[in-house]
Amino acid sequence: MNFKKSFKLSNRKGISRIFLEKQPLLKFGIRYAQRYDYIIGLDVIIISFSDTGLRKIQGNELRPVLDICNKSINEFFRSNTRYSCNFLKSGSNKNRTNLDLIKIYRGVNTL
């Protein structure tokens, strides 16, 4: 099921942080230890889930956590304090790939 949700951008030691946990991940079918990769574009960060992903969902079975925190995230968000996620299942109308995707946009009105 595709859906959209907005979040407050958090930070850790002055570095912007994408922190998604529990409910939206479980609703999207993302589980603890699932693998993913992400790329940062000019206007969007794309997180793709696959068996060969370099990164792994943290947390535990009841509370999966996706946590991305680095300086390139700072550069992407600049002065924004919120972000919007578009959760797209593979093969859906807005995602013609064979991978589940989360597209992340600056602010809350860009979906």
Mean pLDDT, each 10-residue run in order, the chain (111 residues): 93 91 96 97 96 97 96 92 95 90 86 47
pLDDT at 1 (0 to 100):
84
Neighbouring-strand partners of residue 18: 68
Q: How far out from the chain centre does Cα 68 lie? A: 8
pLDDT at 56 (0 to 100):
97
How many CB atoms lie under 10 A from the CB of residue 27? 12
Residue pLDDT, tens place only, 54-74: 999 999 999 999 999 999 999
pLDDT at 110 (0 to 100):
47
Q: How far apart are CA 58 and CA 45, in angstroms?
A: 19
pLDDT at 111 (0 to 100):
47
Q: What are phi and psi of 96, to 5 degrees?
A: -90, 10
Domain segments of the chain: what residues? 3-106
Tokens at residue 28, please?
């999207």
How many CB atoms lie under 10 A from the CB of residue 38? 19
Task: Please report which helix (H) or strand (E) contains residue 27, including its range.
Answer: helix 23-28
Tell me if 28 sits within 8 A of 100, measured CB to CB: yes
Q: What are phi and psi of 90, to 5 degrees?
A: -60, 145
Task: Please report which helix (H) or strand (E) contains residue 101, including its range.
Answer: strand 100-106
